[in-house]
A and B are shown apart, each in its own frame.
Chain A
Amino acid sequence: MSDHHHLPRRDLLKFAALGGAMLVAPRMALAAVETDSRFVFIIQRGAADGLNIVIPYADPDYAKLRGALAIDPARATKLDGQFALHPALVQAAAMYGQKQAIFVHATASPYRDRSHFDGQNVLETGGTAPYAVRDGWLNRLVGLLPKARDEAIAFAPTVPPALRGPAEVASYAPSALPQPTDDLLLRVGRLYQADPQLHPLWEAAREARGMAADENAGRAPADLGKLAASFLSRPDGPRIAMLETGGWDTHTGQDFRLTAQLKALDQMLAALRDGLGDTWSKTVVVVATEFGRTAAANGTGGTDHGTGSAAMLFGGGLKGGRVIADWPGLAQAQLYQQRDLNATTGLDSVIAGLAAEAFGIEPDRVRRTLFAQAPASRPLEGLLQRA
């Protein structure tokens, strides 16, 4: 269980009891600032098709394999001589132009089979095999930070596996249910006092409600980005956040569905950036999925479960405007099991490198804490301007 008792964060509860949006108490604003950086993990559940997100247009096999699903490079945003970005990613393309985005291609976690749930488990725990590690890498990252405040929050009604573990985390999602009365909140708190499971959950819930700038935010993707920004931009707010997106499992009708998914993601990212204001320069965002999809289109206008995919990094302080890819090629013999894009860059080295630079922690220490089981790959370097 978590050792929540020594955290000074509980002071916030007094203010949270007021409910709704509230003023920050002066002494909270004066809390010691150990790190100023913000780290956001956005998961794409369902295996996002990296090949149609960061399009390898110069690979002669791309158009052949994809047939009608191939995206015409004339419609997409050219990133360099090899890759182009899906046309729905308008804001992401703008960030790339401002050197605030990096795309990492042919990347994957160590998982090499094709089950969503096993794949997500490996991606989120940071293990090498499903269910081999019990807590999530994002939770272990919290453990590397100085314990000054509420370090982490999931913008979801329940805490996703990547954030589960010994470090206590909050979760928040806008609710349309009526606010409970202060009296009820107080009494529930008393009722849970002796319950080792419910007590810490309840305190975290009270605190998160206190921080939300807009209780009535809707469910549009932009709203979620705005909501996350309202927490992360506070001086006393969380340093680490996780957002979930679903719907990437495009076995049929992929063109339409992927476009809609990417539009939503694009709006979420833009709202996050805009809502963060000055804090954007200290923020890094990583967008990743459990695995990619088959290199060839299937027989029903979609793609089946594959291996390598693309990850996306964003942030105001990124040394961006580039695609990182040790491109394996799409010719039959170059594919993984003659079927999927081969993964040549480990997602763990991307994540470890980004987290290390963002928080100024020794990269190998981050790698060992987050991805202890993975073969000792070198964390990527030089992702941030100031690093």
Chain B
Amino acid sequence: MAPSPSPASIALNRFGLGARPDDVPPGDPKRWLLDQFDRYDPRPPAFAALPDGTQLAAEYFADQMALAEARKQAKAAANDPKQDAATLAARKDVNAGVREAYRAATNARMASALATETPFVERLVHFWANHFALSADKPQVTIFAGAYEMEAIRPHVLGRFEDMLLAVERHPAMLYYLDQFRSVGPDSRAGLRAAQLRPDRPLGLNENLAREIMELHTLGVRTGYAQADVTEFARALTGWSIGGKGPGAGPGGDKDDGALGRFQFRPNIHEPGTRTILGKAYSEEGEGQAKAVLHRLATSPATAKHVSTKLARHFVADDPPPALVDRMTAAFLKHDGDLTAVYRVLIAAPESWAAVPTKFKSPWEWTVSSMRGLGRRDLGQTDIAPMQNQLGQPVWRPGSPAGYDDIAATWASPDALMRRVELAQRFASTAGDRIDARALAPKLMPAAVSPATTTALAQAESGATALALLLVSPEFQRR
């Protein structure tokens, strides 16, 4: 049996990202967490070094234009535009650009997690990026994934929920991911014209974003909205699109405001008229209509409860204590969705400090804590994306807008466990001769290492084996 983890160990591991060998265990664990709010840097150096969304869009669109041009020329020369050498080269450029943007951004995410001096807030970034999940399954989303977390999530994790919600739903990555940018009101100017010109192929609504906002981002599923509310919300959202002509630009023939790869409201595709959603009429014109709906959703009690439940599940237990969720919900509503007010309740709660490891680490959490535990401050030659693929939790690629699950049943599986052992062996093979696992264990988990693990580390046949065992020990698998 492992001894009960100390409050210091809980602060470092359950709330933080795992201790580093030279961390001094916090004497006042609650204060240590709260103080991070003042020190948080929403623009960590590793992300600041990356191109922003506008630059990424410019590069991506330029590559796409080159590809379109190459195809055109191949066609003119009576070549097969699919096989033509120039086309192939241009397509390669597009793919390489997407791959490189993803590689750089996933590495920046891990580098930030290793270097951060505010690991609790950094964990909150990971939490919120997963709450407002996008899945980098199509190139337009893949290229923006890092910029999305940087621009829509990081600035708002200590702010108001509504501000984060707005930033998320207006970010091109989300508008691409949930197909919003092409959604056209059937009675909008562009919709009516298209129906006249091409009756066989009318433009129209796409309700994907509207549904997932209600189901996943705000109210939560089964909270009383109906199909009609989803469709009406989808109508209100028409016009929320992306700036820039060329491939990937929204339809509708609006004058482009030049904000390439940025949110642009396109009045020509906005469905005119008043919308009724959840019993309330929205008579706002244009862009403000969906904003008004989002305001209502962001401040709804169902949203407060949904968000509080997920936070409590992430930090406290797979089945979060209802009394704690109620207190967090009340704080959310009382403070207009000020997230730090909700976090304060979480930190103050006795339930959060239960002296048993309540959570099984996800692959991402396990990798971050392993690398931090080995004293890594930067990535060196390591690429994070393939590593997380192997562990079964690719970065920003949960495969669905619900994001990754946050319960042990998802991650504690036979093959997943084997992969951690394989990776632990690889980590240890490069560090085993300079780190003594026996001395490291109590530093990473102050007063929380079991006699069985201590014995196993002492009896290991080599330093590397001891280190690998530490990283996969029952105590280290949990937080």
Contact = CB atoms under 8 A, between A and B. Distances in A.
Q: Which residue, A117, A176, A180, has most C-beta atoms of chain B within 10 A?
A: A180
B32 to A, nearest CB: 29
A178 B477 CA distance: 20
Contacts of B87: none
A110 interface: no
B361 to A, nearest CB: 12
B439 interface: no
A36 B121 CA distance: 54
B452 A302 contact: no
Contacts of B369: none
A342 B400 CA distance: 26
B460 A187 contact: yes
Interface in B338-389: 360, 386
A337 B230 CA distance: 14
Q: Interface on chain B toward A: helix, strand, loop, or mixed SS?
A: helix
B465 A157 contact: no
Q: Which residue, A164, A202, A298, has most C-beta atoms of chain B within 10 A?
A: A298
A179 B422 contact: yes
Contacts of A105: none
A300 B179 contact: yes
Contacts of B83: none
B19 interface: no
A299 B422 contact: no
Interface string B177-211: 01100111010000100000000111111111001
Contacts of B422: 175, 177-180
A202 B400 contact: no
A337 B228 CA distance: 11
B211 A114 contact: yes
B415 A299 contact: no
A181 B429 CA distance: 11
Given A177-B390, A299-B206, A304-B206, A201 B402 contact: no
B390 A204 contact: no
A355 B326 CA distance: 44
Q: Interface on chain A toward B: helix, strand, loop, or mixed SS?
A: loop
Interface stretch (A86-94, A188-196, A325-333): A188-196
B414 A201 contact: yes
Given A175-B422, A187-B456, A68 B201 contact: yes
A159 to B, nearest CB: 5
A157 B206 contact: no
A191 B456 contact: yes
Interface string B52-74: 00000000000000000000000
A251 B452 CA distance: 53
Contacts of B1: 194
B392 A247 contact: no
B474 A195 contact: yes
A178 B221 contact: no
Contacts of A175: 390, 415, 418-419, 422
Given A188-B472, A251-B179, A299-B186, A158 B415 contact: yes
Q: Which residue, A183, A190, A251, has most C-beta atoms of chain B within 10 A?
A: A251
A202 B453 CA distance: 16
Contact of A299 (B203, B215, B453, B465): B203
Interface stretch (B21-29, B141-149, B404-412): B404-412
A245 B426 CA distance: 30
B97 to A, nearest CB: 20
A253 B408 CA distance: 35
B479 to A, nearest CB: 14
A145 interface: no
A249 B400 CA distance: 9
B253 interface: no
Interface string A304-319: 1100000000000000
B101 to A, nearest CB: 21
B332 to A, nearest CB: 23
A156 B412 CA distance: 12
A157 B215 contact: no
Given A180-B422, A298-B205, 16 more contacts: A68-B200, A117-B400, A156-B415, A158-B392, A158-B410, A170-B414, A172-B414, A246-B399, A246-B400, A252-B179, A298-B206, A299-B182, A299-B204, A300-B183, A300-B204, A302-B179
Interface of B: 1, 137, 178-179, 182-184, 186, 191, 200-208, 211, 215, 221-222, 227, 230, 360, 386, 390-392, 399-400, 402, 408-419, 421-423, 425-426, 452-453, 456, 460-461, 465, 468-469, 472-474, 477
6 contacts: A114-B211, A173-B415, A194-B1, A252-B179, A299-B183, A300-B182
